[in-house]
Structure 1
Amino acid sequence: MRRNMISRRKFLSASAMAAGGVTIASGGLANTLPGAVTESAAREVWIATVSQMDMAAETPALMVERIFEVLREALVFKPDIICLPELFNTSNIKRKYTFKEEVAFSAETLKQFAAFAKTNNCYVICPVYTEEAGSVYNSAVVFDRQGKRLGEYRKAHIVEDEVSFGLTPGTLSPPVFKTDFGIIGIQICFDILWEDCWRKLRESGAEIVFWPSAFAGGQMVNTRAWQNRYHVVSSTRKDTSKICDMSGMEIAKTGIWNRNLVCAPINLEKAFVHVWPHVFQFEKIKEKYGRKIRITIFHEEEWAIIESLSPEVKVKDVLKEFNIRTFEQHVQDSEVAQIKARKQ
């Protein structure tokens, strides 16, 4: 995208014009923005994510105020969910505090963002320290639209310095959270170097995984998306924060002209499939559904994303109608056949 923070009306208009109908690319990627949606998209979710790039404050309280100032820019888009960076309230702080003091600041921060979520009718992922039974965790607390605490994810793969500070690693079976728009999961910073929890989130049905972090991650963020066939959203203390489609393509990201915030829509009504042999059904789908379905082909990878652009059409029904398996089903069926063949 040349510009990430454009008006919602212009964004939707541009997306609709690009979509036009079913897109079957030839000679490369479809020249539509992967994940871009139309006004009639079946499961549109507006996501806001923050980068703390070049943000500093004297105290944690002042940093929270600065974050609220940034988020005010997102409220015009009425985001469904907002994600903040890892331990944002005690990061980039000029005054020095002890670890115990930093942990104590978190309770007040959580109260403030619970109230923010309720006032603005949105989910909020608030990454701070949490305590339970004498243990301290690097966590991401999830608030619903009423400001109620849905639960928290505790960073599983903490770094050595965090161990020396006294932090406890979280479970290797990460929870998922059911929202009114879909199922989400969370990973934090160093977790990106391990595949285990990302895979478990996929197996638990996660459709979006949020990644609050101290660093930007670069292509690792995109890779986790296409490897696991779900959207990934990063929120970082420095450099780029971004929203990635399940194909790994970037839908929107922060940059020179929108350094600290990006807000954009994604469509969750889609499926990731292997092209062969399902490509023979694509023209039939096009003939029947026209503009209601978009198919984007990634030729070299032989992936395709089948996406509903109409609330009247559910992708799972289209897959069933045309006997198309998801990528996950395709791989599982092949593995079963391989195991059976080896036993013969």
Structure 2
Amino acid sequence: MDNEKMGRPVEIVSISFSNRPLTEISAIVEQEAAKGCDLIVLPETWRGNDAEQIDSEAVLTMRALAKRYNTYIIHPMFRLIDENKQANSAILIDREGEIVCIYDKVYPFWNEFDLTPPVASGEEAPVYQTDFGTIGMAICFDANFPEVWKRLAQQGAELVLWPSAYSAGTSLQAHAINHQFYIVTSTLLSDCIVYDITGKEIHYSKKPGEINISRITLDLDRRIFHENFNIDKRDALLKDYAGRIEQDCLMEREQWFTLRCLDPDVSVQQLAQQYGLEELRAYKERSMNGIDRMRGFRFVSKTI
């Protein structure tokens, strides 16, 4: 069996570059989309510092390509809201060419407030339910602020796309570890990093001064668990579905493990629920809330 077809695979193309014209980038997007993929992501504000309308030539071009090739596209831009305000935005276009989600950078960099018009801070970190899974977006300087990433996790993000001007590296790795989602980057430095749900770096590529194209397939059905309260349930599931579900990673020091499916007719996520396995993110959230109730106050309120 072809393991890439197991689980819930999503094929992502990250295109990283800087200072390239729309004609060149649209041709590359078309080239990659024609090969077949689920999602294409471009770097932060790759069109430059001039704010554009939501119906600009670049947006309309990406919408047409998304519809023609049946793929999602993330198009970052400085988005003109009105004559007094713009946003540093990531626009999610669906397979029909429709704009279905807009993320406005919650933490703009200092000099973005000096632009004309100034950049307004985003107020939400939305997620979107695609046909392959729940995704979220964050942008560049957001890497430094845990609140954005926690909000994405609380809404069920399985995959976070991060367009940026720089690479961030282990700053992003920390969010993958803490929240157990995949992270895929596209940067103006022509590099791409992919972090696994375990926090492990599973892809890095860089082509300084060139256009770096990275094609990655991720299994969004793969799940991560803590050993606490889960071992007997895990063992029963693996026994009953021997050869169809496997434990593909055991992290002994963390006491975490991951499960993935080897059979296209089964789902780790569904079987975990059936066998009463609690996923790591849910276990941590339940533990925090339960301990807060027992001690009579929310510790998080003391950090604000």
Q: State TM-score, norm by structure 1.
A: 0.77
Q: Is the 8 A contact 1:291 1:309 kept in 2?
A: yes
The within-5 A match list for 1:289-300 is 289-295=241-247, 296-300=249-253
Distance 2:134 2:189 in 1: 27
Deviates more, 1:333-342 or 1:260-269: 333-342
1:112 is matched with 61
Shift of the 173–281 alpha-carbon distance from structure 1 to 2, 3 Å rule, reads: same
The answer to whether structure 1 residue 177 and structure 2 residue 120 are counterparts is no
Q: Is the 8 A contact 1:172 1:197 kept in 2?
A: no
Q: Is the 8 A contact 1:71 1:261 kept in 2?
A: no
Point out the structure with the larger strand share: 2
Distance 2:235 2:86 in 1: 55
Distance 1:259 1:300 in 2: 39
Shift of the 249–259 alpha-carbon distance from structure 1 to 2, 3 Å rule, reads: farther
1:48 is matched with 13
User: Secondary structure of 1:89's partner?
Assistant: coil
Count of residue pairs the alignment pairs up: 291
The within-5 A match list for 1:119-158 is 119-134=68-83, 135-158=85-108
Distance 1:133 1:68 in 2: 27
Q: Is the 8 A contact 1:49 1:242 kept in 2?
A: no
Gaps of 5+ in 1: 1-12, 17-37, 58-62, 91-98
The answer to whether structure 1 residue 306 and structure 2 residue 259 are counterparts is yes
Shift of the 159–180 alpha-carbon distance from structure 1 to 2, 3 Å rule, reads: same
User: Secondary structure of 1:114's partner?
Assistant: helix
Aligned-residue Cα RMSD (Å) equals 2.4
2:272 is matched with 319
2:299 is matched with none
Distance 1:279 1:236 in 2: 40
Shift of the 309–226 alpha-carbon distance from structure 1 to 2, 3 Å rule, reads: farther
Q: Is the 8 A contact 2:44 2:188 kept in 1?
A: yes
Distance 1:129 1:137 in 2: 6
Report the CA distance between 1:287 and its aligned residue: 2.1
Distance 1:150 1:69 in 2: 23
Percent identical across equivalent pairs? 25
**Which residue among 134, 148, 152 is the counterpart of 1:201?**
152
Distance 2:278 2:186 in 1: 33
Greater relative contact order (Cα 8 A, min sep 6): structure 1 or 2? Answer: 1
Shift of the 306–66 alpha-carbon distance from structure 1 to 2, 3 Å rule, reads: same
Shift of the 256–168 alpha-carbon distance from structure 1 to 2, 3 Å rule, reads: closer
Distance 1:81 1:312 in 2: 24
The answer to whether structure 1 residue 189 and structure 2 residue 147 are counterparts is no
Moved over 6 A (4+): none
Q: Is the 8 A contact 1:47 1:80 kept in 2?
A: yes
Shift of the 319–113 alpha-carbon distance from structure 1 to 2, 3 Å rule, reads: same
Q: State TM-score, norm by structure 2.
A: 0.86
Gaps of 5+ in 2: 297-304
User: Residue by residue, what CA displacement relative to the aligned partner does 1:34-78 show, whole Å, maximum 9, x if unpaired?
Assistant: xxxx143131110011221xx544xxxxx2223234435533641
